[in-house]
Amino acid sequence: MSQHDFNIANQGFPATRADLNNALAALASSSSGTSEPTTTYAGQMWNDTTNNLLKFRNDANDGWVTFAKLDQATNEWEIRSSVVQAVDSAGIAFKTDEGTTRATLGDDGNWVFDGNIEVTGTVTIGSPSVPNANILHNPSFTVQQRGDVIDHAVTTFGPDRWRVRGISGAGGTLSRSTTVLDSTTGTSKLQVAHTGATSAGYIYQSVEAVNIQGLYGSELTFSFYYSDSGSGDPKAFIRSYDSSATLKTLFNAVPTDLGGGRWSCTFTLSTSDGTFPDYSNTGLLVQIEANSGNTAPNQWNVWETKLEAGSEVTPFVARPYSEELALCQRYYYSTYTGTANKCDFFQTSPQYAWPNVNMPVAMRAKPTASISLFRTRYMASDDNSTKTRTIGVVSVKGGPCHPTSAGDFLMTALLVQCTGTTFSKYGGYCQIEGGFDAEL
């Protein structure tokens, strides 16, 4: 082990020779020593024998860069760096002492292993690769049982489960919602248009308490994509209900900008007094406001909304449309699907008829009915022509598979009591168009 200042002094020959030999010894041993050389140079190598570390002097000559640890017992070395970088597109190859490649880390971030992988500890998969379940319904706005383009005079539903603020609140002469398809990405987006708005524009969804059970006291994360015709930011407004329907604000601000148009916020689910709403009632209101809650822009778009457990934002993955439609039909069911719904009916008097409407899924509660078309055809020979009737809905009860006191349970079939023009004395079948609303 030797160190030297690498400066050969002006001296006699024997001393010069000794000085040169000492300098060469220091150079050959990488300036080995228990402490750093007294005189240092940029790029100089130092074998730190106290810690068995091989170091290089940085270009500024004011510090050491540790390159490797030298294991004197096994005659092996270990990398001592937080960065290992390949010099070409081949990535980094890991080889055995015989030169056989066992693993490769490519420039694309993918690992390739030649052989089995044995895990002796815990494997944790990062959240970006494992999407969490989405608590929101119709997060891509693709279910539109009430229609594609809807003008909102007041705050009413646009796409299923989403209410849109109308001109009575936002002001102006137009508040319109529709779902559009981005021709570049293939993404469905809710597009809200305003004309002459004087106040904020927003959309919101009521989350049924049964869908957040077990999450009180835990963190939830809300994320969505947003753009508008100006350069405004969105605002998230999230509130919870307790057992007496008292609201508590959980978040009311501009969320975090994740880049690429995506925004997110994390909050802890709680209620104002610690009590919880009935499972079939509203537990949470999730609202998105355009332009930071200021005057609504002429047009704004929202897409890929997500409410999930935890504090991490995970990728958005759309559910199959059939599944999304069934989730929405728990709250609203439209019998019009291109052709009117066909069902049986019977009568209790010449003034009343009872169509038996079978629901595709159990509804949240006894719905209200709004019937726009009712055509009957009787099985009796005295009147078997098809007739379109102007009717009024008197009441909605449970179907024949339920108790006669129907109404206080989930509905899978309905009897709709109708009144209007005189019906014949016989039952038959009918066509019915309308909506059944059990929304929160």
Confidence check: pLDDT of 368 > 90: no
Tally of domains within the chain: 4
CA 298, 144, 173 angle in degrees (round to 5)?
A: 30
Asked whether residue 132 is assigned to any structural domain, the reply reads no
Whether 170 and 253 map to the same domain: the answer is yes
Sign (positive or negative) of CA dihedral 364, 368, 374, 378: positive
H/E segment holding residue 118: none
Confidence check: pLDDT of 212 > 90: yes
pLDDT one-digit tens code per residue, 230-269: 889 999 999 999 999 999 999 999 999 999 999 999 999 9
Confidence check: pLDDT of 307 > 80: yes
pLDDT band at residue 381 under the 50/70/90 scheme: very low
Percent of the chain scored above 90 by pLDDT? 48
pLDDT at 414: 57
pLDDT at 26: 79
Whether 191 and 313 map to the same domain: the answer is yes
Whether 75 and 96 map to the same domain: the answer is no
pLDDT band at residue 404 under the 50/70/90 scheme: very low
Residue of 373 and 366 predicted with greater confidence = 366
At residue 22, the 3 state secondary structure works out as helix
Confidence check: pLDDT of 418 > 70: no
Q: Name the residue type at position 321.
A: Y
The stretch 415-427 carries a mean pLDDT of: 55
What string of DSSP letters covers 229-260? SSSPPPEEEEEEE-TT--EEEEEEE--EEEET
Whether 181 and 275 map to the same domain: the answer is yes
Asked whether residue 122 is assigned to any structural domain, the reply reads no
Distance, CA of 153 to CA of 192 (rounded, Å): 13
- pLDDT, averaged across the chain: 83
Residue of 88 and 128 predicted with greater confidence = 88
Domain-terminating residue out of 97, 116, 135: 116
Asked whether residue 141 is assigned to any structural domain, the reply reads no
Whether 274 and 380 map to the same domain: the answer is no
Asked whether residue 4 is assigned to any structural domain, the reply reads no
Whether 216 and 308 map to the same domain: the answer is yes
Whether 62 and 99 map to the same domain: the answer is no
Domain-terminating residue out of 62, 79, 96: 79
pLDDT at 276: 96
User: Can you name the residues that pair with 307 across neighbouring β-strands?
Assistant: 222
The stretch 49-70 carries a mean pLDDT of: 89
Distance, CA of 241 to CA of 202 (rounded, Å): 20
Asked whether residue 291 is assigned to any structural domain, the reply reads yes
Asked whether residue 242 is assigned to any structural domain, the reply reads yes
pLDDT at 419: 57
pLDDT at 406: 37
Asked whether residue 127 is assigned to any structural domain, the reply reads no
Percent of the chain scored above 70 by pLDDT? 78
Confidence check: pLDDT of 275 > 80: yes
**57-93 per-residue burial string, b: 16 or more CB within 10 A, e: under 16:** beeeeeebeeeeebeeeeeeeeeeeeeeeeeeeeeee
Confidence check: pLDDT of 411 > 60: no
Whether 272 and 155 map to the same domain: the answer is yes
Whether 271 and 403 map to the same domain: the answer is no
The stretch 127-143 carries a mean pLDDT of: 86
Nearest to 164 by CA among 109, 201, 122, 212: 201
Confidence check: pLDDT of 135 > 50: yes
Whether 74 and 111 map to the same domain: the answer is no
Whether 365 and 430 map to the same domain: the answer is yes
Whether 311 and 257 map to the same domain: the answer is yes
Confidence check: pLDDT of 288 > 60: yes
Range of the domain at 59: 13-79
pLDDT band at residue 56 under the 50/70/90 scheme: confident
Asked whether residue 421 is assigned to any structural domain, the reply reads yes
Highest mean predicted confidence (pLDDT) among 81-90, 213-222, 392-401, 423-432 = 213-222
pLDDT at 345: 57
Highest mean predicted confidence (pLDDT) among 35-39, 306-310, 376-380, 421-425 = 306-310
Confidence check: pLDDT of 210 > 60: yes
Confidence check: pLDDT of 77 > 60: yes
